[in-house]
Structure 1
Amino acid sequence: MSNTPRQWPWFTVGPLCLTVYGVIRLSDPTHNPGFAWSLGHLSLLASVLAFVPAMWRLRRWAAAGRGPAARAFAGAATAAGLLGTAAVTAQALIDLVVGFLCADRAAMNVMFDGVRSHPGVTPAVYTVLPLLFYVGIVLLTAQLAAMRRIAVWRPLVVVAGIAVTAASLDLMPLGGLLLLLALAPLDRQQQPAAPAPAPV
């Protein structure tokens, strides 16, 4: 592991803000507009945006010194992840605006229905494209594990964190903590070391 100074801790900030969002969401079971709604979605937005430099760093690690195929795979995984990031960002911004404009949950539901009534909005912002955010993270960490540049258990824990969140949004704090466990240590290194060549 590198002894270079620690830079911005994106691998910590992303999962930690996701955990905070999950905790705030659990503390407000009515999900009405107000302070908790706004603070929670600001935490979600911070989490997603923190994953942008984190994914870019994973791409750089995965593409380093492994030929055009590794670079192409890492690039495709990063493109998918960033497209998903854009979708989740749009979702968080819509939720923030709706929460700001509405006085109660009923009014929010009416406005959300209006937003989703536009063709393509639901798959682009709520169902299909947001999944690519998680796909990108899984593919990049799996590639690094296959290259033996990070431990194999890390992508497995990433998948577990995503799976528990997908099973129930109430489990998002647990999902965030699992992502934190898998990714936060990567903040302390510039680039995972390549495996040593076999003796000849």
Structure 2
Amino acid sequence: MNVRTAFVAAPLLIMAYGVIRIVDGFDGERGPGLAWTTGHLAFMAALVLFLPIFWELRRRLDRNALATAAVAMGVAGVACAFTQFAIDIVVGFTAADHAAMGPLFDQVKAVPGVSLAVYDAGPFLFYVAQFVLVTQLAVRRQARMWTPVLVFLDFTLPTIDRDLIPVGALLLLVSFVQLSRRGAATPRHALAHA
């Protein structure tokens, strides 16, 4: 898969996760089951696709110090979020029903440092990195000025209501489609002198 495809596929997979999550809640509870696992796998696939996206954005920014730091932060955030979703899948497979999931999550979060790194703070590094990278691109006029706004809305809307994940993913898709086009339209040697 090339990086242009990753720019489109990653938001679509996040959107799929958000829609599946909503559908999974139609019966009043989420997980365990096929929808729980499928949705989480979709988000994990999106996280993997963000690795080449981060590297591509860093390349467009001439591998400057801020971009490099943002990518390091982003990779750490991807690792934390990926771990969270992997734990969720394991809990889903282990629990007999939804009620049994809560105590299993409590056991995981009781391990020192896990709650902070995997649930509370670590995954936010993934979102902060996206925002820092696209803001740099916008400042350098390598992305539209509204791109950082859409990326910001993508990760803030779910904090208002997690059912807004598909809306945020749609906004991310809009911003990433124009990033994929700009990358394809701009020769690599021209970017090196931007």
Query: What is the TM-score of this pair, normalised by structure 2?
Result: 0.90
Give per-residue Cα distances to partners, 1:27-66, cap 9 Å, x unaligned: 01111211000001001101111111111100110126xx
CA distance in structure 2 between the partners assigned to 1:110 and 1:191 by the alignment: 52
Partner of 2:111: 118
Alpha-carbon distance, 1:8 to partner: 4.9
Alignment of 1:97-112 (within 5 A): 97-112=90-105
Q: Which residue of 2 aligns with 1:45?
A: 44
Pairwise CA distance, 1:182 = 0.5
* TM-score normalised over the length of structure 1: 0.87
Which aligned runs of 4 or more in structure 1 are off by greater than 4 angstroms? 191-194
Secondary structure of the residue aligned to 1:28 is: helix
What is the aligned counterpart of 1:140 among 115, 130, 133?
Answer: 133
Counterpart AA for 2:9: V
Aligned ranges for residues 16-35 of structure 1 at < 5 Å?
16-29=12-25, 30-35=29-34
Structure 1 equivalent of residue 62 of structure 2: 63
Q: Is the 8 A contact 1:81 1:137 kept in 2?
A: yes
SS at match of 2:174: helix
Listed as ranges, the gaps of 5+ residues in structure 2 are none
What's the RMSD between the two structures over aligned residues? 1.8
Secondary structure of 1:177 counterpart: helix
Equivalent position of 2:9 in the other structure: 13
Larger radius of gyration: 1
Partner of 1:155: 148
Secondary structure, counterpart of 1:129 in structure 2: coil
Structure 2 Cα separation of the partners of residues 183 and 148 of structure 1: 15
2:3–2:53: 8 Å Cα contact kept in structure 1? no
In the alignment, does 2:105 pair up with 1:129?
no
Report the identity percentage.
41
Larger relative CO (CA 8 A, sep 6+): 1 or 2?
A: 1
One-letter code aligned to 2:7? F
- Between structures 1 and 2, the one with greater helix share: 2
Instruction: Decide whether aligned partners of structure 1 residues 74 and 124 sit closer, same or farther in structure 2, where only a CA change above 3 A counts.
Output: same
Matched residue pairs, number?
185
Once residues 138 and 83 of structure 2 are traced to their aligned partners in structure 1, the CA distance between those partners, rounded to angstroms, is 31
Contact between 2:37 and 2:92, CA under 8 Å: does it hold in 1? yes
* Structure 1 residue 187 corresponds to structure 2 residue 180: yes
Instruction: Write the letter of the residue equivalent to 1:142.
Output: T
**Aligned partners of 2:175, 2:112: CA distance in 1, in Å?**
37
